[in-house]
Amino acid sequence: MKAIILAAGYGRRMRPLTDDCHKTLLRIGGTTIIERIVDSLHDHAITEIIVVTGYLSEELKEFLLSRYPEGRFTFVHNEHYATTNNIHSLHLAISSVEIDDDILLIESDLIYENVVLEKILRSPYPNVALVDRYRSGMDGTVVTVDNDVITSIIPPHLQTGDFDFSGKYKTLNIYRFSKEFCKNVFFRLLSFYSNAIDNNCYYEQVLGILIYMQRENIHAEILDNERWSEVDDPNDLRVTEFIINEKERSHILDTSCGGYWNYDVLDFRFIRNMYFPNPSVIAEIRASLPRLLVNYGSSQAVLNEKLAFFMLCNNRKINLLNGASQAFPILAELFGKKRILVPEPTFGEYTRLFDTCSSYPDHFRLSVGEIENKSRDCGVVVFVNPNNPTGSFIDSEKIFDFAAANPQKIIVVDESFIDFAADPGMIPLLEKRPLENVIVLKSLSKVLGVPGIRLGCIYSANPEFNAFISRRIPIWNSNSIAEFFLEIILKHRNELEASFAATIRDREEFISLLSQLPFVHRVHPSRANFVVIELADSVPDPHKIVSDLLIRKSIVIRDLSGRFDDGKAYFRLAVRLPGENKNLVQCLREMVPE
């Protein structure tokens, strides 16, 4: 068998990385793309390789000849690479060499594990394409398949805005063709189309014509979770590194702090409401998206008014934030010189941004009396209620009473998870009896299930503080999609309340399931939409459990080991949907043998 590698392209979408470097010579995991392809061919005893060059052809040629001095390469140059597409490159390749064996055709921007190539080489069909089930984020040619036969090929230019990708398969751009097919029907139509009709299109169009005319069957070998990636633009490099380099997966996720749509993982690390937004809300956003994208959002005053309608409060006391995290540097600017008291452990920016921090312990329980004692020399006291990561909770009335009894202190109440505690929170209390020393901070994205549009708020009955906040917020502080979302959820209060109740129900069921795991010493009570499990001392390596879950099961959890001073191992687990929660419990059971 001979291999044809199409490597003539300029790699425009990969700029600026390809301005002075051939696309195939970019490195992923310390190895160039072209080396990975050639090594995989050699591993399967395919040594006769035809490489179609174009852009930076000499650079690529010199690299291959130097890296593989015993290699059997034939180089075919496409001098019109800048104005033609892969149909012309493939036509040149088949025209330039003797087709005396079957052909394995590979595009040069692919990264794959060896079992991927084995799949197509072991296929019983003479003419076959590797395909994978279409998933969000894939682009390029897609196909329909019936009984292992490709029934239609749809190139990118036919995938219009309303194109339905359900039931479609993405081609990997790895094909195996029989000698007879290449020499006869395929070559003749390829040659005619490239020379007489269009040499700036995809060779898949020729395959599509043959399929449509029922002149030839092109079969499909469908991947089953084998790893591969197509490197089209610079963003793909990071995604591909995640797919191929198992040891770097955790580091990539840790440093990205989000963007998980790029990675095929089940996320128990980040926390959100799994039951909201409901389908009706999503449908309204989808229908309005073209209009929203071309319009500016409203001024901050209007945003605050719309937010107040939802929060059922005075619009002069509340400010919409671009995520609750926007408040931290503002609070630090105003109160940074004061001694601040925070729970330990907790997540957030307090310890990073404030000059002097003290802490009160939260080992899955909180005492207002202990906080009172710890706060004597502190100007700012922070309550995170429920606290993240422990899930510990204090009744809002008790916090209100503490604030009322300490008017000389600034009381910051971060209640991003309060809706899962079946507690109304501080704002209703403060609306009835304002306390000017209380600041309520809330991340709305978590409870509303939309972290992607960054919604948060800050509330205070103190006019001077609100004026200070207003001066620190730009006139366009949010976006049209977030604003529209605030408008339409007023019609869905009942569904939102039901989502909180469903999450609370799922949390208690999740706790029950986790408690049955033999290596779990304790599942701590939680009033949030996450739970913390404490592992038994007999568990030899908790960090390996986290790593194995990611590598073997594509599940992400947060390891809290080291966040407490007792030397024990803890995991924080987001409450997802019941089936996903059960799946995690089963995977944990498999990770730790009894």
Amino acid identity, position 343: P
State the first-to-last Cα distance of the chain, in angstroms, to the nearest integer. Answer: 49
Once rounded to an integer, what is the mean pLDDT over residues 268-281? 94
Q: Give the global pTM.
A: 0.83
In the chain, domain spans: 2-239, 266-273+497-591, 279-494
The more confidently predicted of residues 87 and 457 is 457
d(CA 568, CA 551): 24
Q: What is the CATH number of domain 2-239?
A: 3.90.550.10
Cα 36 from Cα 484, distance rounded (Å): 47
Q: According to the model, what pLDDT value does residue 594 have?
A: 64
Residue keyed to tokens 């963007």: 259
In the DSSP assignment, the letter for residue 495 is: H
| Upstream peptide bond of 277 is cis (omega within 30 degrees of 0) | yes
Tokens of 235: 């963003």
Q: What is the mean pLDDT of residues 225-243?
A: 83
What's the confidence (pLDDT) of residue 513? Answer: 96
Q: Which contiguous run of DSSP H or E holds residue 103?
A: strand 103-107
> Could you read off the pLDDT of 346-363 as tens digits, one per residue?
987 887 878 788 999 999
DSSP 248-312: GHHHHHHHHSS-GGGS--EESSS---TT-S-HHHHHHHHHHHHHHHTSPPPPHHHHHHHHHHHHT
Give yes or no for residue 231 having a pLDDT over 90.
no
**Averaged over 385-394, what is the pLDDT?**
95
CB 118 within 8 Å of CB 201? no
Burial of 153 (0-12, 13-18, 19+ CB in 10 A): buried
Q: List Cβ neighbours of 436 (8 Å cut-off, separation of 6 or more).
A: 460, 461, 462, 465
Of residues 570 and 159, more confidence is placed in 570
Are 2-239 and 279-494 in the same CATH fold?
no
Residue 571: pLDDT band with limits 50, 70, 90 = very high
Between residues 225 and 472, the one the model is more confident about: 472
For the chain, give the longest Cα–Cα distance. Answer: 91
Ramachandran sector of residue 346 (left: φ over 0; alpha: ψ -120 to 50; beta: rest) = beta
The residue assigned the tokens 């380099």 is: 245
Q: Of 382 and 210, which is predicted with more confidence?
A: 382
Query: In this predicted model, which residue has the larger pLDDT, 197 or 61?
Result: 61
The secondary structure of 388-444 as a DSSP string is TTT-----HHHHHHHHHH-TTSEEEEE-TTGGGGT---HHHHHHHS--TTEEEEEEH
Q: Which residue has the higher pLDDT, 308 or 96?
A: 308
The length of the chain in residues reads 594
> Which one is the CATH code of 279-494: 3.40.640.10, 3.40.1000.10, 1.10.3720.10, 3.40.50.1580?
3.40.640.10
Measured CA to CA, the distance from residue 319 to residue 316 in angstroms comes to: 8
Mean pLDDT of 12-35: 87
Task: Work out the average pLDDT over 327-335.
Answer: 91
Residue 357: phi and psi, rounded to 5, are -120, 135
CATH number of 266-273+497-591: 3.90.1150.10
- Rounded mean pLDDT, 453-472: 95
Per the model's pLDDT, the better-predicted residue between 250 and 269 turns out to be 269
pLDDT of residue 406: 96
The residues, ordered by sequence, that sit 6+ positions from 281 with a Cβ below 8 Å of its Cβ are 485, 488, 489, 492
- Range 550-573 average pLDDT: 90
What per-residue string of b and e applies to 4-31 under the rule 16 or more CB within 10 Å gives b? bbbbbbbbeebeeebeebbbbbbebeee
> CB of 87 within 8 A of CB of 194?
yes
The string of DSSP codes covering 34-72 is: HHHHHHHHHHTT--EEEEEEBTBHHHHHHHHHHH-TT-E
SS3 for 327?
helix
**CB–CB of 360/339 below 8 Å?**
no
Q: How does pLDDT run across 508-556, given as a tens digit for each residue? A: 999 999 999 999 999 999 999 999 999 998 888 888 899 889 988 889 9
